[in-house]
A and B are shown apart, each in its own frame.
Chain A
Amino acid sequence: MFFRLLEDSVLRNRRRKVLAVVTIAIAATLMSVLAHISIDIGNKMAKELNSYETNIRILPKSEGVSLFLGGVDYNPLKGRFFLNEKDLPRIKGIFWGNNIAGFSPFLTVPVKITGYDAIPVPLVGTFFQRQIGDVDGSQSFETGIRFIKPYWTIQGAWPDDLQQNNALVGKALADALNLGVGQSLQVTPDKGAPVVLQITGILSGDDTYDHAVMVPIETVQNLAGLPDGVESIDVSAMSVPESALSRKARTHPDSLDVQEYDLWYCTSYVSSIAHQLEEAIPNALVKPVWHVAETQGAVINKIQLLMFVMTLVIFIAAGLGVATIIQTSILERSGEIALMKAIGAANHHVALLFVAEAILLGVIGGVCGYLLGMGFSQIIGFDLFTSTIAPSPIVGPVVGTYAVAISLTGTVFGLTRIRRISPTAALHGRI
């Protein structure tokens, strides 16, 4: 009998029921979009922000001895020790190896350009784009500066890593020396023979290399007489926003207990990734670029707060909408409710009918909203991050619960009206 009453209750006043479902579905759609994006935004935002700045720098351990006097670095070990290029595959071998989006080694020597001897310029050796095998050589990984500096603008073409004379010239330097793509350039180090380079592209978009010449790292290693020598490595790692735990690890690493250490180590904080890199690479000093990590954290936290507030506002707005629809429905059916009460229905009998109806409408609205939201989140994902938003199994139940909660909240406001409907109205024909 209950399901018979429910069936009719749901099917009656279809326009109003459709309106309620649409209201719930709109709210559930927004919730679904926000939940999908919110869950995935950590990785997506980190990847997006990392595409503008690398967040970890690896240096030789000797660089950690700082001896600055009057602004001059008197570190006696500076420039005497180098990282080994052969250790680069170890970067992908760490626990959070899959979070390493890219890296590129650097080795710089000052050179003079023939014809412009008065101007010493840095000749920067790096990886532009090349395959690197992992530690055991079973898998390869494509990396290079193209992957960690995607915002660079190249007029011409990227140098080919296999062509050691290919060069990229910073825009300011090219403008100053009137250099263009396709021209040759002879550079001479302090010690050693001159080398002729072929300009394949002009680099703009990065002040750091505006006055530099960039070549495959082997060219610089040969000029400097440092086979496999690397003076720094920039790493772009996808990390989660910093938390109280990671800040504690950063300031007082020894104060972490075993559980805290495990949690920190197994979470992709930039600090834990840096720690693992330091463990993996011999004689390395790994420094997170904190301002990047903190910017990521701040942006993601603010976006998540904004999403929470939006979710709450949508909940209230949709709840009020449903409350109005349900109240109207109860008013319209007050005669029927009075009759039910007159023939023996308790308030909870009638309320249960409306609650069941609310749950049903909430589930329908929630399913519609979830599916629509999944679609919209993909569109937003492509628009903002040029990638899909991975469907999360937790979003379905969350959106369903949210939709039913909206429906029930709206209904609960209406239920107080049920109690006020007097059965005497039925007895005396006022229905």
Chain B
Amino acid sequence: MNELILELKSIKRCFGKITALDDFHFNVKPGEWVSIMGPSGSGKTTLLNILACLDTPTSGDYLLDGINVASFNEDQRTVIRREKIGLVFQQFHLIPYLTALENILLAQYYHSVIDEDEAMAVLVRVGLEHRATHLPSQLSGGEQQRVCVARALINQPAIILADEPTGNLDEENEAIVLKFFKDLHQQGKTIILVTHNPEIGQEGDRIIYLHHGKIVEKVYF
């Protein structure tokens, strides 16, 4: 096993004359939970795009599970994303015409071969087996986010990347979803979570604070 599951070396990302990330260094160990915080425009989105292999850095290296993916083209990044990364979105983003179970199967379909039993098992894990045939519109916000987590887990990714996963939830559902992340963390999953909520940020092993594309503070717990 690599000592680091994820390593950013001298990452720079420019959009025209604007530098969103500048000489950015960042490491994550396997099983670590890192919370990323910072004000709007601090570079969180750019960092998450690069970490999720949705974008490529202008310069620098990005080693994901030992593979330098910085210069990968779109197709290569798609492959590495579906193999290594599970994404959880703030606004859930489930396909509205697919049931809860089908939304999970879709991620599995793009990854390998669909296995309904396996998808159902993940749905059981997030406590939504009784909602398997329900459309997203028939689920509460918390339930939709749990389906989104189940979809992120189905392909057993090396890293879970979550962008404000509780940002659209009430307190009760926030607690439920947060508990899943804690459980996942305890089970040894690597989690990188972007949040504005310091209380959620403190659930991780450490918090990094961004400002103007640089890490300005690191807090370890």
Type the 1/0 row for B93-128, where 1 means its CB is closer than 8 Å to any CB of A: 101011000100111011100100000000000000
Residues of chain B in range 159-216 having any CB-CB distance to chain A below 8 Å: 163
Type the 1/0 row for A331-371, where 1 means its CB is closer than 8 Å to any CB of B: 00000100111111111010000000000000000000000
Cβ contacts under 8 Å, B90 to chain A: 429
B219 on interface, CB distance cutoff 8 Å:
no
A423 on interface, CB distance cutoff 8 Å:
yes
B105 touching A424 by the CB < 8 A rule? no
The CA of A347 and the CA of B78, in the complex, are separated in Å by: 9
Number of CB contacts from chain A to chain B under 8 A: 69
B52 on interface, CB distance cutoff 8 Å:
yes
A427 on interface, CB distance cutoff 8 Å:
yes
Nearest CB on A from B136, distance (A): 12
| CB contact between A343 and one of B75, B79, B91, B107 (< 8 Å): that residue | B107
Of A1-9, A43-51, A308-316, which stretch is located at the interface? A1-9
B132 on interface, CB distance cutoff 8 Å:
no
The CA of A8 and the CA of B98, in the complex, are separated in Å by: 9
Cβ contacts under 8 Å, A204 to chain B: none
B54 touching A340 by the CB < 8 A rule? no
A427 touching B75 by the CB < 8 A rule? no
Residues of chain A in range 280-336 having any CB-CB distance to chain B below 8 Å: 336
B82 on interface, CB distance cutoff 8 Å:
yes
Cβ contacts under 8 Å, A346 to chain B: 75, 78-79, 110
Identify whether the interface residues of B are mostly helix, strand, loop, or mixed: helix
A12 on interface, CB distance cutoff 8 Å:
yes
Nearest CB on B from A16, distance (A): 16
The CA of A427 and the CA of B109, in the complex, are separated in Å by: 20
Q: Closest A-chain residue to B102, C-beta based?
A: A4
A426 on interface, CB distance cutoff 8 Å:
yes
Q: Kindly state the interface size class of chain A when it binds its partner.
A: 20 to 34
| CB contact between A344 and one of B74, B82, B98, B105 (< 8 Å): that residue | B82
B109 touching A341 by the CB < 8 A rule? no
The CA of A138 and the CA of B84, in the complex, are separated in Å by: 85
B105 touching A1 by the CB < 8 A rule? yes
The CA of A342 and the CA of B110, in the complex, are separated in Å by: 11
B106 touching A1 by the CB < 8 A rule? yes
Q: Closest A-chain residue to B148, C-beta based?
A: A343
The CA of A4 and the CA of B155, in the complex, are separated in Å by: 20
A4 touching B98 by the CB < 8 A rule? yes
Type the 1/0 row for A398-425, where 1 means its CB is closer than 8 Å to any CB of B: 0000000000000000000001001110
Nearest CB on B from A431, distance (A): 7
Q: Closest B-chain residue to A7, C-beta based?
A: B97
Cβ contacts under 8 Å, A340 to chain B: 95, 106, 110
Cβ contacts under 8 Å, B65 to chain A: none
User: Known interface pairs A336-B95, A431-B93. Does A343 touch B106 (Cβ–Cβ under 8 Å)?
Assistant: yes
Cβ contacts under 8 Å, B82 to chain A: 343-344
The CA of A147 and the CA of B120, in the complex, are separated in Å by: 80
B52 touching A427 by the CB < 8 A rule? yes
User: Known interface pairs A4-B102, A422-B54, A427-B48. Does A341 touch B78 (Cβ–Cβ under 8 Å)?
Assistant: yes
B151 touching A343 by the CB < 8 A rule? yes
A86 on interface, CB distance cutoff 8 Å:
no
25 example contacts (A-B, Cβ-Cβ < 8 A) are as follows A4-B102, A8-B97, A8-B98, A339-B95, A340-B95, A340-B106, A340-B110, A341-B78, A342-B54, A343-B87, A343-B106, A343-B110, A344-B82, A346-B75, A346-B79, A347-B74, A347-B75, A347-B78, A423-B54, A424-B54, A426-B89, A426-B93, A427-B49, A427-B163, A429-B89
| Chain A residues in the interface with B (C-beta under 8 A) | 1-2, 4-5, 8, 12, 336, 339-347, 349, 419, 422-424, 426-429, 431
